[in-house]
Amino acid sequence: MEEIQALFHGFAVVLQPFNLVLMVIGIVLGVIIGVLPGLGGANGVAILLPLTFSMPPTSAIIMLSCIYWGALFGGAITSILFNIPGEPWSVATTFDGHPMAQKGQAGEALTGAFTSSFVGALVAVVLITFLAPLVARFALRFGPPEFFAVQFLTFCSFIGMGRGSPFKTMASMMLGFAMAAVGLDTVTGTLRMTFGWSELLRGFDFLIAVIGLFGIGEILLTMEEGLAFKGMSAKLNLKVVLQTWRQLPAYWLTSLRASTIGCWMGITPGGATPASFMSYGIAKRFSKNGDKFGTGELEGVIAPETAAHAAGTSALLPMLTLGIPGSPTAAVLLGGLLIWGLQPGPLLFIEQKEFVWGLIASMYLGNIVGLIIVLTCVPFFAAILRVPFSIIAPIILVICAVGAYTVHNAMLDIWLMVLFGVIGYVFKKLDYPLPPMVLALVLGDMAESSFRQSMLSSQGSLSIFWSNPLVATIFGLGLILLFWPLISWIMQLAKRRAVVSSGS
Amino acid sequence: MTTRSVEIVVAVVFLVIGAVVIIDSLRVGAGWDSDAPGAGYFPFYIGLMMTAASIIILIQALVSKSSELAKTFVDPVAFRPVLLVLAPTLVYVLVIEFLGIYVASAIFIGAFMVYFGSYGWTKTIAVSILVPAAMFMMFEIWFLVPLPKGPLEALFGY
Amino acid sequence: MVNLRAKYIFAGAAFAAAATLAPTAFAQWQPTKPVTFVIPAGTGGGADQMARMIQGIAAKYNLTSQPIVVVNKAGGAGAEGFLDVKQSNGDPHKIIITLSNLFTTPLATGVPFNWKDMTPVAMLALDQFVLWVNAETPYKTPKDYLDAVKAGGPNKFKMGGTGSKQEDQIITVAIEKLTGAKFTYIPYKGGGDVAVQLVGKHVDSTVNNPIEAVAQWRAGSLRPLCVLDSKRMPYKEKMTSDMSWNDIPTCKETGFDVEYLMLRGIFMSPGVQQQHVDYYVGVFKKVMETPEWKDFMEKGAFNTTFMTGKEYSDWVANAEKAHLELMKEAGFLAKTN
C-alpha cells in the first residue's frame, strides 16, 4: 500500500518536536478562535497566515490546519453552554446541546460534541488518505444544477421541523430569504434592497443574526426566570466523559449517516454549515426519538457535530487536489499555499509529497491531540456555568459584541446583533420558529444564484434539473424527504392493512 | 399589552417588510431577463409570500378567541429583569460609538457587577479592567484585528 | 519619546535595508499607529492573497515600523471598502489594494465613489487574462474556438467568469463585439471555482487570470489559447512538458485584437500629504525587491509594471475612460435613479 507508506513518512514529519509544539499551539489558538463568535476559522487562519511566512511550508500548514481543527472543536462550546454559536456550523448544535446544558448535562453534551467531531473528522481523513483522486473526480461533476439540487435537499431535510403555525414558519423563512437577498446580486451585479444606504451594501450576515437571535435572545429569555443561568448542576469531573462514551455506540447509525453527509457536503463543496443542518434534519426524521429532538437529546448533538467536522475536514480535499476551496477557511489556506510557493491542484500530490502527507498525518494527529485537549477541559468548560451570573453575563454580552464587530469590522453589526436579540426574544414568545429563518439566511443567496446560473446555462429550461442521473437522484432524494411524512403515513397504512388482512 | 396586540404588531411589521421587498424587487425588475430570472424575480415572490403569511397571521390574531391571545404578553414582574439587561446593553453599544469597545466594556462589566452582584470595589475593578485588557492584548496585539477604539487608546498611540 | 521612536525605526529600517535599498532620509514621516490595509474583496481571492503577501513580507523584513493590519471589506463588490477609505479623509494610516472593481463597481452599481476620491500611491502589478478551454476539446487556437462558437449559433457556448458586470464579463463582451461570436456568460463567485467549472465542462471557456488556472493547466486539464495583452508574458520557465507562459500567443497575434489588464494597485485616504504617499511608495519599493515577491509575480505570471505619481494617476484615468466606454457599449452602466 503506497498510501500507508507515504502516510508513515508523513507521521515522521509531523512528530518532529517543533511541529508537535506548533500543533498544540494551533489547536489551543483554534479553540479560542472557535469559542469567540465572529472570529471564525477563516479569519483566524487569515490573521495568522502572515506569521507563518518564515516557517517551512509543512510546519506552517500544520499550525494553520490545527487552528482550523481547534475552531471546529471550539465552536460547540459556547453553543452548548450559552446558546451562542461560536461558528456558523455550530448553530444546529445549539438546538439540543443548549437544552442539555440547561438540564445540567453540559458535560455530557460537550463530550458528545467533541467525540462526534472527532469521529466525523476521522472518517473524512481516512477518505482523503485512500480515495483522494477518486473523490476529486466526483467533485468535478458538480455544476450549478447539482449545487442547486444539494441546496434543495438541505431544505427538504429540514422543512416541516416545527410543529407551530405553518404561516409563522413561512413568514420566518421568507424573512430569512429576504435578508439573504440584501446587497449585491452576484448574477446581475445589481444592488438590491440597499435603498442607497451604504451600510447595507454588505447585507445581513448569518453570524450576526445567529449571535443575536440565539445568544442575546436566549439571555433575554433566561432573564424572565430570574437573574441566573440554568445548568449549574453540571458535573465537574472527567467521569462524565467515560459515562457519555458508554452511551455513544448506540448512536452508530446516526454517526455513520452524519459522516456520510458531512464528507459528501465537504467535497462537493457544499459547506459545513448546510451539512450540519441537513444532518440534524435527517437524524430527527429517522430517529426513534425524533419527537424529542430540541429538548436535549444527545443524538441531536452528535448528528450536526459529526457532519460539520466531517465536512470541514473533507473540504480540504478539493482544495488540495483541485485548487477549489470547500470552505472559507480552505480558501484562506489555499492563499497560504500560494504564498509559501506551493501550487495547489492536481499535481500537488505528486510534486509535494512531503507536504501533502505531512498535512494528512497532521489531520490524524491534530484531531487526536485536539480531542485530548478539549476533553480534559470539559469539567473546566462546564464550570463556567457556575461563575456568578453578574460576572459572566456582561462578559458574554461583551464577547458577543466583539464577535459581531469582527465579522465585517462594522459598528452597525453590533446594533443589528442587539436588534436580532430582541427579534429572537419576541419570536420565541410568539412561537415563530427561528431555524427556518436561519437556514434561509445561510442558503438563500447560494440557492438563488445556483438556480439562476442553471437557468442561464440551460437558457431558461427547467429540464436541466433532471438532465443527468446525478442531479436527478439528488432531486429525487429531496422530494422523498419533503414528502416523507406522507410517505411514512402511506407505508404505515399499507402495513396496517397487511396486518388486518392476514389477521382475517 | 396582551399577546394579541404583540401578535398584531409583529404581523404588521412583517406586512410592511414584505411590501418593501416587493416594491424594491419591482424596481430592479421582477421578471425574467433574456433567459434567466432577473435580480428581483425571487425577492418578489419572497415578498409576496411574506405578505400573504402575515395577512393570515393578522386575521388569525384578530378573530381568534383563543385564551392564549388574551393573556398578557409578558408578566411585568418577569419583564423587569429582561429590561434590566436589555437597557444597559443598548447603552453599552451606544457608549462603544464614543469611547471604543475596551473602555465601554470595562464600564459595562463593572456596572453590572456592582448593580447585580454587589461585589466589592477591588473585585469589580479587577475583573472589569482585566477582561478588556486581555481582549486588547489578544485582538490588537496578537491577532492584529482592529476593534473600535476611542480617545483613551488614541492617547497611547492606537 | 518621539526621538526614541525615530531611533528605533531607523534601526529597523537599516536592518531591512541591508537586504534591499539604502536607508532613506531621517526626517521622513513614519506611521505612528498600525496601518489598516483594506481589501475590497473577500478572504482567499487574488487581491486578498496579494495584500496578505505584502503584510507577511513587511513583517518578515521589518519594512514598516508599525504592523500592517489587514481588513476585508467586500460588501457591494468592494464598494464598502472604497467608501471606507473615501470617508477617512486625511488619515495616513489607511491604504487600500484595488482591482478592476475600482472602476466597474461605481459604474455598474451607481455607488457614489470614484478613484479621484482617494490618493493614488503606486501600481504594484497588472494581472493578465488568458482565454482558456478544456484540454479535451479540439480547439487549438482562438480562431478554431471562436469559429466554433460562431458556427454553433448564439448562446450555445458558455463563458464562465467571476462576478457580474466585472472584468471577466467586460472581456467577454469585448470579444463578442470584435468577433461576432455570442456567448452565454455565467457568473460565479470566485476565480478558482470558474477554473474547476471549466475542468468539469460545465462551461466551455473562461478568461481566468493565470494564477487561477495554472494548476489545472499543468495537470493537463485546461488549454490556454491566447493572452489578452499587447505582448507575450515574459516567463520562460516550462510550466507543462512543452509550454511556458511565454509560449502562449497574444490574442492580437492570432488575429483578434482584444487587450485587457487588471490593475493591482494601491490607493490611500484622500487629503493626505505628499510625505505620506512617499513613505508608502518607499515601503512598496522595498517589498518588490524581496525574493518572495518576485517569486509570487512569476507564479502568477503577472505583468510587473510599477508606476507611481503622475504616471500612475494618468494610467488610472485612462483605464477609467476605457472602462466607461466598454461598459457603456455593453449596457452595464447603472440606471441613474
Distances (CA, A) of A335 to C190, C196, C296: 13, 16, 11
Which position has the higher pLDDT, C118 or A166?
C118
Q: What's the pLDDT tens digit per position in A382-440?
A: 888 888 888 888 999 999 999 899 888 889 999 999 999 999 999 988 989 888 899 99
Residue whose C-alpha cell reads 511550508 in the numeric block: A57
Cβ separation C32–B158 shorter than 8 A: no
* Alpha carbon distance, N-terminus to C-terminus of chain A: 61
**Minimal Cα distance from B77: which residue of A?**
A224
Q: How many helices (H) and strands (E) does chain C have?
A: 11, 11
- List CB contacts (< 8 A) between A53 and chain C: 56-57, 59-60, 292
Q: What's the pLDDT tens digit per position in A308-364?
A: 999 989 988 887 887 777 677 777 787 788 777 787 777 888 888 888 888 889 889
CA A198, distance to chain mean position in Å, is: 30
The pLDDT, as a whole number, for residue C138 is: 95
Q: Which of C212, C247, C282 is the last residue of a domain?
A: C247
Cβ separation C164–A335 shorter than 8 A: no
Mean pLDDT of chain A: 87
Number of domains in chain C: 2
Residue whose C-alpha cell reads 520562460 in the numeric block: C236
Q: Is B45 on the interface with A (CB under 8 A)?
A: no
Q: How many helices (H) and strands (E) does chain B have?
A: 6, 0
Give me the mean pLDDT over the A143-169 stretch.
83
For residues A387 and A394, give the distance between their C-alpha atoms in angstroms, rounded to a whole number. 12
Q: What's the pLDDT tens digit per position in C157-191?
A: 999 998 888 999 999 999 998 888 999 999 988 77
Mean pLDDT of chain B: 89
Distances (CA, A) of C220 to A346, C133, C215: 9, 11, 9
**Minimal Cα distance from A455: which residue of C?**
C186
CA A251, distance to chain mean position in Å, is: 19
Residue whose C-alpha cell reads 487574462 in the numeric block: C129
DSSP line for C187-230: EES-HHHHHHHHHTTSSSEE---HHHHHHHHHTTSEEEEEESSS
Residue A198: closest CA among C85, B93, B67: C85
Cβ separation C164–A188 shorter than 8 A: yes
Cis check: omega of the bond before C40, within 30 degrees of 0: no
**Do the domain assignments include residue C254?**
no
The pLDDT, as a whole number, for residue A203 is: 85
The pLDDT, as a whole number, for residue A237 is: 79
For residues C124 and C53, give the distance between their C-alpha atoms in angstroms, rounded to a whole number. 12
Which position has the higher pLDDT, A20 or A328?
A20
Nearest to B157 among C32, C36, C70 (CB): C32
The pLDDT, as a whole number, for residue A270 is: 80
For residues A407 and A429, give the distance between their C-alpha atoms in angstroms, rounded to a whole number. 28
- List CB contacts (< 8 A) between A38 and chain B: none
Q: Note whether C205 and C157 are within 8 A (CB).
A: yes
- List CB contacts (< 8 A) between C155 and chain B: 35
Residue C17 predicted with pLDDT over 60: no
User: How many Cβ contacts (< 8 angstroms) between chains A and B?
Assistant: 182
Q: Note whether A15 and A359 are within 8 A (CB).
A: no
Q: Note whether B101 and B152 are within 8 A (CB).
A: no
Specify whether C110 is located in the same domain as C12.
Answer: yes
The pLDDT, as a whole number, for residue B28 is: 85
Q: What's the pLDDT tens digit per position in C225-273?
A: 999 999 999 999 888 888 999 999 999 998 888 899 999 999 999 999 9
CATH number at C106 reads: 3.40.190.150
The pLDDT, as a whole number, for residue A231 is: 66
The pLDDT, as a whole number, for residue B49 is: 94
Q: Which of C247, C271, C296 is the last residue of a domain?
A: C247
CA B9, distance to chain mean position in Å, is: 17
**Do the domain assignments include residue C255?**
no
The pLDDT, as a whole number, for residue A335 is: 76
Percent of chain B topping pLDDT 70: 99
Residue C18 predicted with pLDDT over 70: no
**Minimal Cα distance from C55: which residue of B?**
B144
Residue C5 predicted with pLDDT over 80: no
**Do the domain assignments include residue C253?**
no
The pLDDT, as a whole number, for residue A186 is: 81
Cβ separation A53–C292 shorter than 8 A: yes
**Do the domain assignments include residue C252?**
no
For residues A43 and B138, give the distance between their C-alpha atoms in angstroms, rounded to a whole number. 14
**Do the domain assignments include residue C171?**
yes
In this structure, which amino acid lies at residue C165?
Answer: K
Residue C12 predicted with pLDDT over 50: no
Which position has the higher pLDDT, C4 or C155?
C155
C42-64: burial string, b at 16+ Cβ within 10 Å, e else: bbbbbbbbbbbbbbbbbbebbbb
The pLDDT, as a whole number, for residue C25 is: 46
Q: What's the pLDDT tens digit per position in C46-98?
A: 888 889 889 888 888 889 988 888 888 888 889 999 999 999 999 999 999 99
Distance from the Cα of C310 to chain A's closest Cα (Å) equals 31
pLDDT tier for residue C336 given thresholds of 50, 70 and 90: low
To the nearest 10 degrees (0 to 180), the angle between helices A217-224 and A389-408 is: 160
**Minimal Cα distance from B144: which residue of C?**
C69
pLDDT tier for residue A375 given thresholds of 50, 70 and 90: very high
Residue A86: closest CA among A141, A138, A51, A43: A43
- Which helix H or strand E contains C84, and what residues bound it? helix C79-87
Percent of chain B topping pLDDT 90: 53
pLDDT tier for residue C289 given thresholds of 50, 70 and 90: very high
Q: Note whether C275 and C29 are within 8 A (CB).
A: yes
pLDDT tier for residue B127 given thresholds of 50, 70 and 90: very high
CA A292, distance to chain mean position in Å, is: 22
CATH number at C228 reads: 3.40.190.10
Residue A198 predicted with pLDDT over 90: no
Q: Which residues 59-98 of C have a C-beta within 8 angstroms of A?
A: 59-60, 70-77, 79-80, 83
Tell me which of B22, B73, B143, B149 to substitute to probe the interface with A (most A C-beta atoms closer than 10 Å). Answer: B143
Residue C27 predicted with pLDDT over 60: no
At residue A225, the 3 state secondary structure works out as coil
Specify whether C141 is located in the same domain as C32.
Answer: no
Percent of chain C topping pLDDT 90: 55
CA C139, distance to chain mean position in Å, is: 28
Give me the mean pLDDT over the A102-129 stretch.
92
The full length of chain B comes to: 158
Give me the mean pLDDT over the A483-492 stretch.
82
Give me the mean pLDDT over the B80-90 stretch.
90
Residue C26 predicted with pLDDT over 60: no
For residues A163 and A433, give the distance between their C-alpha atoms in angstroms, rounded to a whole number. 9
Specify whether C197 is located in the same domain as C233.
Answer: yes
Q: Which of C223, C247, C271 is the last residue of a domain?
A: C247
Percent of chain C topping pLDDT 70: 91
C154-164: burial string, b at 16+ Cβ within 10 Å, e else: ebebbbbbbbb
In this structure, which amino acid lies at residue C118?
Answer: M
Spell out the residues 6+ positions from residue A503 whose beta carbon is closer than 8 angstroms to its own: none
Domain carrying residue C276: 2-127+262-330
- Which residues of B have a CB under 8 Å from any CB of C? 35, 140, 144-146, 157-158
pLDDT tier for residue C320 given thresholds of 50, 70 and 90: very high
Residue B12: closest CA among B70, B64, B67, B51: B51
CA B63, distance to chain mean position in Å, is: 31
In which order are the strands placed within the sheet that holds C94-98?
A: C68-72, C35-39, C94-98, C262-268, C119-127, C307-308
Give me the mean pLDDT over the A168-176 stretch.
92
**Do the domain assignments include residue C335?**
no
For residues C89 and C87, give the distance between their C-alpha atoms in angstroms, rounded to a whole number. 6
To the nearest 10 degrees (0 to 180), the angle between helices A17-35 and A57-82 is: 30
Percent of chain A topping pLDDT 90: 34
Specify whether C123 is located in the same domain as C8.
Answer: yes
Which position has the higher pLDDT, A459 or C144?
C144
Specify whether C266 is located in the same domain as C118.
Answer: yes
Give me the mean pLDDT over the A60-64 stretch.
88
Specify whether C119 is located in the same domain as C155.
Answer: no
B56 exposed, middle or buried (CB, 10 Å; 0-12, 13-18, 19+)? middle
Specify whether C6 is located in the same domain as C123.
Answer: yes
Residue C24 predicted with pLDDT over 70: no
Q: What is the β-pairing status of strands C157-162 and C183-188?
A: parallel
Cβ separation C200–A190 shorter than 8 A: no
Residue A162 predicted with pLDDT over 70: no
Tell me which of A43, A53, A455 to substitute to probe the interface with C (most C C-beta atoms closer than 10 Å). Answer: A53
Specify whether C123 is located in the same domain as C138.
Answer: no
- Which helix H or strand E contains C288, and what residues bound it? helix C274-289
**Do the domain assignments include residue C289?**
yes
Hey, which residues does C72 pair with through a beta bridge?
C39
